[in-house]
Amino acid sequence: MPVKAPAFWQKDKSVWGKLLSPFGFLFSVIGAGRFRRAKPYRSKVPVICIGNLVMGGVGKTPLAVSVAEFFKMNGLRPVFLTRGYGGGLKSAVINADGVYTANETGDEAQILARIAPVVVSADRKKGAIAAEKTGADVIIMDDGFQNPQLEKDLSFAVFDGRYGFGNGKVFPAGPLREKIEQGLERADACIIVGADTSGVRDKIAGLFPDLPCFYVHIEQDKRVLNALAGQKVFAFAGIGYPAKFFGMLSDNGIDVVGSKAFSDHHPYSENDMEALLKAARGKGADHLITTAKDGVRVPEKYREEITVIEAYTVWDTPDEISDTLVPFLRRE
Query: Would you write out the chain's pLDDT as a tens digit for each of its 332 residues?
Result: 445 678 888 888 889 988 999 998 898 888 888 888 889 999 999 999 999 999 877 888 999 999 999 999 999 999 999 987 777 777 788 787 777 787 788 888 888 999 999 999 989 999 999 999 999 999 999 888 999 999 999 999 999 998 899 999 999 999 999 999 999 999 999 999 999 999 999 999 999 999 999 999 999 999 999 999 999 999 999 987 888 899 999 999 999 999 999 988 899 999 999 999 999 999 999 999 999 999 999 999 999 999 999 989 999 999 999 999 999 987 55
Residues 168 and 181 placed together within one structural domain of the fold: yes
- If asked whether residues 242 and 157 sit together in one domain, one would say no
Q: Could you tell me if 292 and 111 are in contact, meaning their C-beta atoms sit under 8 angstroms apart?
A: yes
Do residues 168 and 242 share a domain?
no
Question: Which amino acid is it at 27?
Answer: F
Q: Which residues neighbour 213 within 8 Å (Cβ) at sequence distance 6 or greater? A: 189, 190, 191, 192, 201, 204, 205
CB 24 within 8 A of CB 174: yes
- 226 located within any domain: yes
d(CA 15, CA 322): 44
Q: Are residues 93 and 241 in the same domain?
A: no
CATH number at residue 62: 3.40.50.300
Q: Are residues 127 and 212 in the same domain?
A: yes
Q: Are 257 and 284 in contact (CB under 8 A)?
A: yes
Q: Residues 51, 120: one domain? A: yes
Domains identified in the chain, total number: 2
Backbone angles phi, psi at 21, to 5 degrees: -55, -40
Q: What CATH number has the domain bearing residue 274?
A: 3.40.50.2300
Residues 110 and 213 in one domain: yes
Contact, 276 vs 236, CB < 8 A?
A: yes
**Same domain for 242 and 192:** no
Q: Is the same domain home to 51 and 164?
A: yes
d(CA 173, CA 18): 7
Of 214, 228, 210, 238, whose CA–CA distance to 286 is shortest?
A: 228
User: Is 252 a domain residue?
Assistant: yes
Three-state DSSP state, 43: coil
Polymer length of the chain: 332
* Same-domain status, 239 and 128: no
d(CA 306, CA 297): 12
Is residue 106, in this structure, part of any structural domain at all? yes
Whole-angstrom Cα distance, residue 221 to residue 200? 28
Q: Is 18 inside a domain boundary?
A: no
Question: Do 146 and 59 share a structural domain?
Answer: yes
Q: How far apart are CA 129 and CA 136, in angstroms?
A: 10
Q: Is residue 187 located within the same domain as residue 323?
A: yes
- 6 falls within a domain: no
CA dihedral 165, 169, 173, 176 (to 10 degrees): 50
d(C-alpha 172, C-alpha 193), whole Å: 24
Domain that includes residue 62, residue range: 35-218+313-329
